[in-house]
A and B are shown apart, each in its own frame.
Chain A
Amino acid sequence: MDPNKITHHQFIILVMLFTIGSNILDAPFVITNVANQSGWLAGILGWGVGILLVWLYSTVAQQFPKQTFIEYSQAVLGKALGNALNLFYVIYYFFLSSVMVGLIISFLNLQILPRTPMEVIGISFLLIAITGVHYGLGVIGRSAEIFFPWISTFLCLMFILLLPQINLSHLTPILDGGVRPIFRAAFTFLGLPFLELPIFLMIIPYVDNQKHIKKCFLLGTLLGGLVLVSTIFLCILVLGAQLTSLNQYPSYQLGKEISIGNFIQRIEVMVAIIWILTIFYKLSICLFVTSHGLSKLLHLKEQRSVLLPLILIISVITRIISPNQSFYDQFIRYYWAPASLPIGLGIPLLLLIVGRLRKKSIAL
């Protein structure tokens, strides 16, 4: 039995967790920063375009069933160009893993464990994720299935318990800054989860039911996007755009706001659990794709041979790439989406077009 085999049910959950992971932390803050109280409109717009993008990715994947991204980009674009793109692809997700570790470190350090050294948090988190990757994608998928009911229960509970705190006047005035900030915010939002989703081009070949890939991929993104958009919406409704854009972790703040009677209060730990879990799965998927991609690219016999050195490298790269919070915030806000465009739009389009042309020329 291939340890990397997953079911389509697990695939949906992984897509959803990947979409939610980390972005539930920074998306509300980044979006309201640009679009203020109209941020939710930007969220919906970004969500819609994101789904179109996912449609593109799954079309690409269906064109080359049973092959990973690394394999078919070589086949379609030739060895040299294909390998260059593959290297770029692997490095991109290597950096994404480092960013994930950086996020969890700064969140835990600021909010939960102020006295624990950052390195210890980062390395312990990496070790857990590496254990998952070592067990294989199958175990990651199955454990995600077990945690999924918890995550969704906590999310629903959070949304429901926040309803009494809603203040509709936070939404007005609508569109006071014109449409342009909404487009900008939507573009930034696009980069936060949706342009990263080509990562699943490496995972799709391991899904058992290839027929429903498109449906599953779209469903996962749809649900994940729904969670993100509703979080943004609730942040604006409960905290107001001003507070959301000033707060480092607005959705954590949301958890702190919950107070029903005198007994349900201070349940932000629930939110923290959702985050740690979702970021964990995002990191595991990134690490899986990084190590798997690397071993495919270099024709290694075993994937595990690159895993442990990766801990050493990522733990220090994490510290290097976010020397301070403001640098990181600025990068996420202005540069992440454009930097993701080649991965999220350029390469899939290229593969789709060249693939189609090749197929046609073969048919002729």
Chain B
Amino acid sequence: MINCIIVISASLIGYIEIPHLIKVKAKMDLIVFSLLLLFGLILNLLYYNGVHIPNPLDFIKFLTKPLSEWLYRLL
């Protein structure tokens, strides 16, 4: 059910935008659009099917940890 909704909404987005992009002959736009749409589609499908996706904030946390610890110790 949820997969169905995701795929339908993704194809709806494609249906709205792709004819327009082809009409204005924006090749780069079409590539970026398709990549982003594909990325969004896969991300949604994975997330709603229970696959664990690493939290990007954890990564940012890991990166800024030394800085933040140093700063808060300083203050």
Determine whether A and B are in direct contact in the complex, meaning some CB atoms lie less than 8 angstroms apart.
yes
By size class, the interface of chain B is: 35 or more
In the bound complex, do residue B33 and residue A184 qualify as a contact, i.e. CB atoms below 8 Å apart?
Answer: no
Contact flags (1/0) for A295-333 with B, using CB distance below 8 Å?
Answer: 000111110111011111101110111010001000100
Judged by DSSP, the binding face of B is helix
Residue of A299, A319, A323, A334 touching B72 (CB-CB under 8 A):
A334
In the bound complex, do residue A308 and residue B16 qualify as a contact, i.e. CB atoms below 8 Å apart?
Answer: yes
In the bound complex, do residue A301 and residue B28 qualify as a contact, i.e. CB atoms below 8 Å apart?
Answer: yes
Residue of A299, A310, A341 touching B28 (CB-CB under 8 A):
A299
In the bound complex, do residue B13 and residue A338 qualify as a contact, i.e. CB atoms below 8 Å apart?
Answer: no
In the bound complex, do residue A312 and residue B33 qualify as a contact, i.e. CB atoms below 8 Å apart?
Answer: no
In the bound complex, do residue A300 and residue B55 qualify as a contact, i.e. CB atoms below 8 Å apart?
Answer: no
Q: In the complex, what distance in Å separates the CA atom of A171 from the CA atom of B13?
A: 54
Residue of A180, A300, A317, A331 touching B61 (CB-CB under 8 A):
A331
A window 121-139: CB within 8 A of B: none
B42 smallest CB distance to A (angstroms): 10
Q: In the complex, what distance in Å separates the CA atom of A179 from the CA atom of B16?
A: 57
On A, residues with C-beta under 8 Å from B are 95, 180, 183-184, 187, 294, 298-302, 304-306, 308-313, 315-317, 319-321, 323, 327, 331, 334-335, 337-339, 341
Known: A321-B56, A341-B67. 6 other contacts (CB 8 A): A184-B75, A298-B28, A300-B29, A302-B29, A310-B36, A323-B55
On B, residues with C-beta under 8 Å from A are 9-10, 13, 16-17, 21, 24, 26, 28-30, 32-33, 36-37, 39-41, 43-44, 47-48, 53, 55-57, 60-61, 63-65, 67-68, 71-72, 75
